[in-house]
Structure formats: structure tokens, C-alpha cells
A and B are shown apart, each in its own frame.
Chain A
Amino acid sequence: MGEPPAVLEMTGIQKIFPGVVALDGVDFRLLPGEIHALMGENGAGKSTLIKVLTGVYGIDGGDIKLSGRDVLFTGPLQAQEAGISTVYQEVNLCANLSVAENIFIGRQPRRFGRIQWSEMRKRSAGLLARLDLDLDVSAPLNTYSLAVQQMVAIARAVDIEAKVLILDEPTSSLDASEVAQLFAIMRRLRDSGVAILFVSHFLDQIYEVADRITVLRNGALIGEYRTAELPQVELVRKMIGKELATLEQLESRPRESAEQIERGEPILRAEQLGRDGAIAPFDLTIHAGEVVGLAGLLGSGRTELARLLFGADKADSGKLELDGKPVSMRSPRAAMAHGIAFSSENRRTEGVIGELTVRENIILALQAARGWTRPIAKRRQDQLVGKYIKALQIRPDNPEIPVRNLSGGNQQKVLLARWLITEPKLLIIDEPTRGIDVGAKAEIQRLVAELSSGGMAVLFVSAELEEVLRLSHKIEVLRDRRLVEELDNTGDVDADRIMRTIASGATS
């Protein structure tokens, strides 16, 4: 069986940013009618390669051939016109415009220079129908959920008669059924001859849809493989380039018996706590030294529950007790005063402050708690910051550089350090391992385990069931903004068991 000629061929791509070689002689090819996964840790060069391909960045060396012809795009528009369309992780549409307009903007059907609105709406509706979507095409896009917006983005990309469709982490904000729908669309497009470049952090998804895999590491090409011929463990090894010692070590961590923890006094007890439109009233008890995992799909109310406990949003019903005393959580500040810390899932927008240095970011919460009139002495700052940079292995270890220059994983560690120096009794962490590389992920998981053995209570929110299962003593399962089940994480609980609850909503 001979391979068809590649629709896209990139050879020896070189891209240099000031001080960093982002891509070092990378080769990449896409065949027509295949789904090709591009894999690599953060910083491996995936995004850079995609941006080079779509003309967002220029290249410093190498060449790009599309359908056998040399091309060099000066911007996304040129790439689009040549048949390369991209759907990004964060939906990149204009939510203030209508659905139809989002699909057609820039290439609206015109007559005598005047946009044909009715024609545009008709064609949009037809196009969406082919993707099994029934939307009001003249409604503004911001009336629809993120998942629907993503589908609209794909509809737009597909209609551009794309030869090459790039999907850059399209699944990170979708729930399981939406992912399934996306995959069905991808397969349909593949069968019609479109070459699809697919980027995802979820290995299972890669193995579900991808035909071939290209692995990058540190800006260099590691290799191109058929998915069927590359076992998962092998893939991970190629991506991180080191043994999975930390991960495996964690795997064998002896679980403390939940019973032992339960005997202690609970540090937090929520009774019918809830907020209209965010999370239905729920009961929750957390003990010192306990890791409580929150499992559920995106939009199931995981984050909303966590935010209520931290006072980031105000509860409108129910009671909250801390150390046996009733409290009202009016603001994050009040929660901090009670020894609660919360690290948001939106690291860049709600977590670190990019412009400030690593040191300033780390001391921020402690300083805020002390108030502006009582600054932390510089020596004490250096001591604290130095300690946590070392303990969490934050790289680079210079406390005086702006935190925006750090990788996602290291920013996450800075965020954890910020909360750890406040010595909280309860640490709430929302998706700390999302979008960061495997190595940093393992380190953060290990840290959570250590903290709980040290007596800290941890509320751990994660989309990855494996992770929740590995770390938690107790798992709270959410579905449709409701806490539906509490599971003691004993030997017989597995991902399957949780997924059944999420799917059925029944408390078995």
C-alpha cells in the first residue's frame, strides 16, 4: 500500500526567538485524508510550528511545500486562502457577531459590493446542519456555550475548503459527549480527504482518533510514527525523554486509611451550601490531612463549588462551619483569614500576575493578608521565596524575573508557593495540572500527597479521573451543577465507577 503524496511538507524548519531556538530543523508532513497528532511537552515547539505553518510567525530557515508548491505565508489570511485553516484552543471568534457572520466574516457573499445577508444565513444554516448543529444563525455567538462556539469555529474552518485543518487543543473545554461529536466530525472530514493536524494533551483522545503521531521535544523532531505501532508508554517516554520514575513512585504510595483521618475533627463542614445558577445546595465535610477530589465534567459545578468555599463567589443558601464555628464567606480575604487558600484554574488571568516578579507573586497573598501597612521585610521575603523555589524546583530559579517568562508548569508552582507560604489549613486547587508538561504534573501530584501527609487538607479539582483517583482519600462526584455522590476511595473504586455516576447521576 503506497502512501499518497503529502499535501503538506515542511523540511528543516528553523525558528529562533531572541535567545531561544524554538524550532531546530524540524520536518513535518501531512498526508491527505489522515488525522495526524502533534505531540510534545510544553515548550516542545508545537504551537510555534503551528504558528509558522499558519503564517503568524515567519521562519528563519527551511521550507514549506503545500501540494508540492513552495509557499511562505505572511499572515493567517494568506494561509487560509491557500487552504490551511486553524481552530484554536481558546475559541477565536468574535462573540459579539452572529453565528452566520462568524462563519463567513471576511468572505461574505456579496453582490455589487453589498453583503448578501440572507444568502449568508442560508448557507450557514446548511453548513451547520451538515455538522448536526441546529442553531439560530442570526443570534449573537455569545448566547451559546463554549463548546458550541468551538463547533462554529470548525464549521468556519471547514467551509474555507480547507485542505489542511489544524485543531489546536480543541477538546480542552469540551465534555465527553461534545468530544465524541467533534471526533465524528473529524473522521467525516478525514474521509473526505482533508488532512487534519490535531493537538491534544489527552493521550486517550490521540489513540482514539489519530492515524499517525509526530513527536517534538525541545524544538527538535523526535520522530513520526503510526499510532498503531507506538504503545502509549513509549510515546510518553519519547515526549518527556526521561523515565517516569516520579509518576511510578506515586503510583505505589501507600494510601493512608481514610478511617484514620475521619476520626479527627472536621476542619470544614458545609451544610446545604449553594448558589443559584452555579451549584445546587450540597453537604461536604473535609478533615485535616484529607485529600478530597472533585470529579465531574466541565460545567458540572466543580469550580463553582470550590469558589463558594473560598468566598470568591457568595453563597446564597446554606451554612458553612470552620473548626466547628459558623462563618460567612464574604470574600477571598475572609476565607484566607480562616486559613483557606484557593488556586484558580485560570492560571494566567486569575492566578499569577505576569508583570510582577516571581518573588512578588509568591509573597502576594501573605502580604495581602498582613495588609499594606505591614510590609514583609526584604530578608524574610528572600528567605521564604528561596525556600519555596528550592522545594518546588521552580525554574529558572531567579526570583527577580517577571513571572510571565516562566513556563506554565513553573507558573503553577509559583501559584502554589504563594499559597503555601500562607500556611493554609485547607488548600483548594482547581486544575493545577492542566496544560502543563508531564514532569511538572508529577511533581505537583507528589506535592499534594506530601502536603496531606503533613496534615493539610486539600480539595483537589481535576478533569482527569486518573489523577483524582490517584490522590484522593474521598471523591465527590458532580453532575449538572449538583453534588451527586461521595465515594470513599477504596480499592474497588475506579475510573469506570466514577464515570458511571457522572453518566447516570444516580447514587447507585
Chain B
Amino acid sequence: MIDVSTTPATNKTGPASRRRTYRPNAQYIPVLATLSLLIVMYTFGAVSYENFTHPSVLLNLFTNNAFLLVVAVGMTFVILTGGIDLSVGAVIAMTSTVAATLLQAGWPAGVVIPVVLLVGGVLGLGMGAVIHFFKVEPFIATLAGMFLARGIALLINQNSIPITNEFWTSIAETRIVFEPGVYISGMALVALAVVAVAAVVLAWSRFGRNVYAIGGNADSALLMGLPVGRTRIGVYTLSGFCAALGGLIYSITTTSGYAGHGTGTELDAIAAVVIGGVLLTGGSGYVLGTVLGVLVLGMINTIVNFASLNSWWARMAIGVLLFAFIVLQRLVTRKAK
């Protein structure tokens, strides 16, 4: 007879409980760092520039970056599974062009919106299917998606197409005005709604948890009987959908469709996600972090504007921040091991 009740239990809880204390903190470190950075930047702006503390500055961060926020949320899901989606910028171009073209052809807005979202979702679905079924690297598959989407946009029309549809122009003007000059646009509210839904899905749905599981260890997830294929394809579909929604928002705020829209958006989205503390290898991070990441990018641009600096300073600053946060990620994961 082997007595098992005593020794092993003492063996194992010892080291475990010792480590328990700092561990939960480690998961929040990146998000907290981003938050403090945001506060520091805001304080810097407030001290250095007149009018920086005006409430419109903060609200405009959301209004101006609504499309990026939506795209970055989709990207968050993809990166949480350990993948990447390079096609989002091109999907913005494609969807804005398609929307503008259809509206010009006299289609009603109520039809155009679902069609455009469907197009984005289907492209994502296709990329996800190629990634999953043929084990093609996400990097390459979404690169193909990027070429395809941008190419289709250019084939449809190489010029900027103005949108005159009433619905479009009217929602572009929709805003909640707090006081004169201080408002939040309807599109920003749409973006925030997307954020809220995404946060709930990630924390409280099986799909969301499966996303984390796949990012942690896809092989294990498969052996644990999780629907890895469905989840992975779902994530890219979601990202395609978000990018299409981002494209719609872009076309609404600019009231135009153009194949040149969204150039480099994939980089901004990835940067926002990384600065927001989502681990690039997958499995760890929060939508809230991504929101903070987008706000940091927006804040950089705002400060560069206030300082009337050239826009390349913003690129440099984003590069430096990326570096800092990536090193931080490195340190945190190293400690966890």
C-alpha cells in the first residue's frame, strides 16, 4: 500500500505558493506600463502646450482613431492566437472603394453596408482557411490577401471616388455634442461598442478562451479537443470583418473611397497591439491594452501636431516605443519562465 496523501502535496504546494504572489501582477505589467505612459504623455502635453487640456483633445483621440481602433481589435484576436494579419490596410482600401463604387451606382446604403462587411469577412475566411488547412504561414497568407485586396481596389478604380450618399454624409456628421466644440463622433461610439463586445467575447465566451488556448499551445489545444481549426479561421474572419468595418468608418469620415486608403494601417495596428501589451507569440493580452495602445499612437500624433513638428518624428517615436515595449515583453516573459 502506498501512502500518497501526505508527501506529494507538501512537495508541490511549496514552490507554487511562493511563486503565486507576484505572478498575477506580471500579466498586468505591460498594460499598466502603457497606461502610465499615456498619463505621462498627457501630462507632458498639458504642461508644454496651451489648450492641450481642452476636453476635445481627448475626445478627438477617439474620433480620429475610430477606424484604427476597430482594426486593432481584430488584430488583437489574430495576434492572441500567435498569428498576424498584414491584409488589414489593404482591406480598408478595398472596402472603401467597393462601398464608394456601389453607392455611386445607386445602391442603397442599407445594402452596401452588409455587402461590404461580408466581403471583408469572406476574405478573412479565405485567408484563415488557407492558413489552417494548408498550414501556410499566416504572414504569407495574409500577404497574399494584402496584394489581392489592394489589387482589387486598384482594378475597380485608381482614383479617389467621392461619396455623396445622404446616409453616408449624415452619419459622418452624427455626433454627441457635450458643449460647443466638444463632441464625440458616432463612429467613435461604434468603435467603442466593438471594443466592448470584443472584451466580453475574449473573457467570457468559449471562443474567446479558445483563442487564448491556441496562442498558448496550438498542439495542446487540438489534443484537448478544442475546435482549433474553427477558432483559427474564425479569428481571421473576425479580423477581415473588423478591417471592413474600419474601411466603412474610414469611408464615412473621409466621405470617399480610394485604393490608397489605409496604407500602412497594418503597421499601426500591430504597433498598437504590441504597445498595448499583447504578447506577439500569442496567449496573453487584453483588448483594453490594445485600446490604450491606439490612444498612445493617437497621443503621439497629437503632440507632434501641437509641437508643429514634422510627421517623421511621429514615426521615430512609434519606433522607439515599439522597441521599449518589445524589450519589456521580453523581460516579463523571461521572468515568468
User: Does A touch B (CB under 8 Å) in the complex?
Assistant: yes
Q: Which residue of A113, A143, A183 is within 8 Å of B2 (Cβ)? A: A183
Q: Which residue of B24, B215, B219, B224 is within 8 Å of A106 (Cβ)? A: B224
B206 close to A92 (CB less than 8 A): no
A134 close to B13 (CB less than 8 A): yes
Q: How far is the CA of A139 from the CA of B19 in the complex (A)?
A: 9
B283 close to A184 (CB less than 8 A): no
Chain A residues with Cβ below 8 Å from B219 are 92
Q: How far is the CA of A276 from the CA of B9 in the complex (A)?
A: 26
B23 close to A144 (CB less than 8 A): no
B223 close to A76 (CB less than 8 A): yes
Chain B residues with Cβ below 8 Å from A185 are 4
Q: Which residue of B7, B20, B226 is within 8 Å of A136 (Cβ)? A: B20
Over the window 293-315 of chain A, the binary record of Cβ atoms lying under 8 Å from chain B Cβ atoms (1 yes, 0 no) is: 00000000000000000000000
Max count, chain A CB within 10 A of own CB: residue among B5, B217, B225, B336:
B225
Over the window 7-49 of chain B, the binary record of Cβ atoms lying under 8 Å from chain A Cβ atoms (1 yes, 0 no) is: 1110111011101100110010000000000000000000000
Chain A residues with Cβ below 8 Å from B209 are 97, 101, 105, 108, 115
Max count, chain B CB within 10 A of own CB: residue among A91, A139, A143:
A143
Tell whether B222 is near chain A: CB-to-CB under 8 Å.
yes
Over the window 307-337 of chain B, the binary record of Cβ atoms lying under 8 Å from chain A Cβ atoms (1 yes, 0 no) is: 0000000000000000000000000000011
Tell whether A177 is near chain B: CB-to-CB under 8 Å.
yes
Q: Which residue of B8, B23, B210, B221 is within 8 Å of A181 (Cβ)? A: B8
With A139-B23, A148-B12 already in contact, the answer to whether A76 and B225 are too (CB < 8 A) is: yes
Over the window 82-118 of chain A, the binary record of Cβ atoms lying under 8 Å from chain B Cβ atoms (1 yes, 0 no) is: 0000101001111111000100011010100111010
Chain B residues with Cβ below 8 Å from A180 are 2, 4, 8
Tell whether A355 is near chain B: CB-to-CB under 8 Å.
no
B17 close to A96 (CB less than 8 A): no
Tell whether A133 is near chain B: CB-to-CB under 8 Å.
yes
Tell whether B133 is near chain A: CB-to-CB under 8 Å.
no
Tell whether A42 is near chain B: CB-to-CB under 8 Å.
no
Tell whether B205 is near chain A: CB-to-CB under 8 Å.
yes
B224 close to A76 (CB less than 8 A): yes
B220 close to A132 (CB less than 8 A): no
Over the window 48-81 of chain A, the binary record of Cβ atoms lying under 8 Å from chain B Cβ atoms (1 yes, 0 no) is: 0000000010000000000000000001110111
With A134-B13, A143-B23, A144-B16 already in contact, the answer to whether A77 and B204 are too (CB < 8 A) is: no
Q: How far is the CA of A390 from the CA of B224 in the complex (A)?
A: 43
Q: How far is the CA of A347 from the CA of B23 in the complex (A)?
A: 32
Chain B residues with Cβ below 8 Å from A133 are 9, 12
B226 close to A106 (CB less than 8 A): yes
With A108-B209, A145-B12, A145-B15 already in contact, the answer to whether A96 and B216 are too (CB < 8 A) is: yes
Tell whether A147 is near chain B: CB-to-CB under 8 Å.
yes
Q: Which residue of A93, A143, A145 is within 8 Å of B220 (Cβ)? A: A93
- Give the nearest-CB partner of A87 in chain B: B223
Over the window 215-245 of chain B, the binary record of Cβ atoms lying under 8 Å from chain A Cβ atoms (1 yes, 0 no) is: 1110111111111000000000000000000
Over the window 241-273 of chain B, the binary record of Cβ atoms lying under 8 Å from chain A Cβ atoms (1 yes, 0 no) is: 000000000000000000000000000000000
Q: How far is the CA of A143 from the CA of B17 in the complex (A)?
A: 9
- Give the nearest-CB partner of A101 in chain B: B209
Chain A residues with Cβ below 8 Å from B212 are 94, 96-97
B205 close to A132 (CB less than 8 A): no
Tell whether A142 is near chain B: CB-to-CB under 8 Å.
yes
Chain B residues with Cβ below 8 Å from A156 are 224
Chain B residues with Cβ below 8 Å from A79 are 225
Chain A residues with Cβ below 8 Å from B225 are 75-77, 79-81, 106
A97 close to B205 (CB less than 8 A): no
A94 close to B284 (CB less than 8 A): no
A77 close to B226 (CB less than 8 A): yes
Q: Which residue of A88, A97, A135, A139 is within 8 Å of B216 (Cβ)? A: A97
Tell whether A140 is near chain B: CB-to-CB under 8 Å.
yes
A181 close to B215 (CB less than 8 A): no
Tell whether A485 is near chain B: CB-to-CB under 8 Å.
no
Tell whether A178 is near chain B: CB-to-CB under 8 Å.
yes
Q: How far is the CA of A140 from the CA of B336 in the complex (A)?
A: 10
| Closest Cβ–Cβ distance, residue A106 to chain B (whole Å) | 5
- Give the nearest-CB partner of A187 in chain B: B2
- Give the nearest-CB partner of A76 in chain B: B225
Chain A residues with Cβ below 8 Å from B213 are 94, 97, 101, 105
Q: How far is the CA of A92 from the CA of B214 in the complex (A)?
A: 12
Over the window 186-230 of chain A, the binary record of Cβ atoms lying under 8 Å from chain B Cβ atoms (1 yes, 0 no) is: 000000000000000000000000000000000000000000000
Q: How far is the CA of A425 from the CA of B337 in the complex (A)?
A: 35
A94 close to B221 (CB less than 8 A): yes
Contacts A115-B205, A177-B7, A180-B2 known; list 6 others, CB within 8 Å. Answer: A76-B224, A92-B223, A93-B217, A97-B209, A132-B9, A136-B20
Residue positions of B touching A, CB distance < 8 A: 2, 4-5, 7-9, 11-13, 15-17, 19-20, 23-24, 27, 203-206, 209-210, 212-213, 215-217, 219-227, 283-284, 336-337
A-B contact pairs, 8 of them (CB 8 A): A77-B226, A92-B220, A92-B224, A94-B213, A95-B216, A135-B16, A178-B11, A184-B4
